Amino acid sequence: MTHQGFRRLRNRKNQGTSCLILVLCVVLIVLLAFYWNRIHKDKLPLTKPVPTQVRDSVKVIVPPAPAKAIPNSVIRTAPDPARTKQARMIDKGDYLLIEKSRHLLHHYRDGALQASYSVALGKNPQDKTKVGDNATPEGQFEVNFIKDSSAWTHDFKDGKGETKDAYGPFYISLYTGAKGTLSGKTWRGIGIHGTHNPASIGTNASEGCIRMHNAELLKLKAAIENKPSVPVDIIK
**CA 126/CA 172 separation, integer angstroms:** 22
Least Cα distance to 73 among 225, 218, 221, 215 occurs for 215
Q: How many CB atoms lie within 10 A of CB 167?
A: 25
Residue pair 211/230 in contact by the 8 Å Cβ criterion? no
For 212-232, give the DSSP string: --HHHHHHHHHHHTT-S--EE
Determine which one of 103, 106, 107, 193 is catalytic.
Answer: 193
193 catalytically annotated? yes
**CA 90/CA 108 separation, integer angstroms:** 8
- Which region, left, alpha or beta, applies to residue 134 given φ > 0 means left and ψ of -120 to 50 means alpha? left
DSSP label at residue 70: P
Residue pair 107/117 in contact by the 8 Å Cβ criterion? yes
Least Cα distance to 138 among 127, 150, 125 occurs for 127
Determine which one of 103, 106, 107, 209 is catalytic.
Answer: 209
- Which residues are catalytically annotated? 193, 209
